[in-house]
Structure 1
Amino acid sequence: MRTLPYTDALAPYFASINTAWIEDMFVLEDHDRHVLAHPREAIVDRGGVILFAATDDGAIVGTGALMPGEPGAYELTKMGVLADARGTGAGAALLAALIDRARALPGIDTLYLLTNRKCAAAIHLYERAGFVHDADIMARFGHAYARCDVAMRYPLEPSAA
């Protein structure tokens, strides 16, 4: 499995992979529709990151993003893997690459994610990677999605000044 950076040519995979998992479990919200239809504007042009998981033969099987929010805070968001690629390690590889990219972002002090307890496998993946449940993150950002009932933070080490 390898990770690829965002290109406009890959944008349709960002939309289709995320639409599939969201519609399978929930309802697309207005915020989802905007981000999926305009990933460059909503994420990349604002200093965020979108990565893709690809098989060795180049098939795109997953995607995820780091979306800037309030100053110093980035949301790990829109992370999904195609149903037939689940269990292959694609999600874990993608998550590790996104965390590495987050650590390299200038000025970041908060990396968080918002999800739903129905996403039990994803929550387990996040916990294994080091994310912890966080009431402050829920209070600050949980209102972003109607489906959000779980908020987690990744413990970033303070950057040396």
Structure 2
Amino acid sequence: MHFLSTLTTVSLLALSASALPTIQSTNGIAVRASPSAVKSNTTTAAGAVSPTLVPVFSIKTGSLKGLNGVAIPAVCPPSRADFIAKLNTNVAAGNVLGTPITFNTNAAVQDTTTNKNRATAMLITLQNFTGKKGVGCPAASTPELLTQQKTGVMAKPGVLCT
């Protein structure tokens, strides 16, 4: 009977380990994740947008003029803190007022397509900032986002879209 309970325990341990999600490591070897790793990985995937992924806007709120002298509302662009908070809400929802967005929150991923997708998500957030479809700030209020959307490279402050 002791043998049977030991065998059952070993079987249960093997079964519980096989139920863990498989994570691909950087060297291509599949490994099983511990429950705590699964939780932290989920938190990272659905986690907050790092401020390092949001360019600093060169145009200041209240300037009334955006890229190429385009008139912009006095409240545009929004404050950095307000913008990042709204972006976090939208990224968590996966959409902005029904418009799907894609925003990879992993700051280590910096390929062209990912950065273009991030810029598009930020522009959609900006243009619908008030919570009403199409009511927000025009893209001209954030030339850095236009540059990133066009080039796939995160723009530096003051570098305008050409």
Shorter-chain TM-score tier = under 0.3
Q: TM-score, normalised by structure 1?
A: 0.27
1 or 2, which has the higher strand percentage?
1
Q: TM-score, normalised by structure 2?
A: 0.27
